[in-house]
Amino acid sequence: MDLLNAARAVRDNAHAPYSGFKVGAALLSREGRIHVGCNVENVAYPEGTCAEAGAIAAMIAAGDRRVAEIAVIADSPAPVPPCGGCRQKLAEFADGDVAVTLATTDGATLRTSVADLLPGAFGAAHMDRT
């Protein structure tokens, strides 16, 4: 199963009773495994989880550590990019040149990269004090 189809399939499992905006994400780890996530809303809005964060958490829980590629899909007129927080989460686990495919359920796609989504990302090197 390719990443976009995996993201499309997991999107159906999203818990979005408040917004009705279901999102699915699938990432390929460097170890060659696909990990998926979907958004999970909560009536207390800040307590929800984004699809991208769910896929990253699944990757980490499975023992993988680095993202090789990611796809995100939503029912929207145009491909939907990850929120700012998820862009930072992706930057934690993916090199800047990692491919990101953003898609709509109607078939529109946009290919970009982690670096293009978050130029000037805060990273581990910023913490180095030596």
38 is in an annotated binding site: no
44 is in an annotated binding site: yes
Mapped onto helix, strand or coil, the DSSP state of residue 98 is: strand
47 is in an annotated binding site: no
Tokens of 29: 């780890």
Percent helix / strand / coil, the chain, rounded to 5: 30, 30, 40
CA-wise closest residue to 16 among 71, 70, 75: 75
45 is in an annotated binding site: yes
- What secondary structure letter does DSSP report for 46? G
Residues with catalytic roles: 52
18 is in an annotated binding site: no
40 is in an annotated binding site: yes
Which residues are documented as binding site for Zn(2+)? 50, 83, 86
Question: Which residues are documented as binding site?
Answer: 39-45, 50, 83, 86
Binding site listing for substrate:
39-45
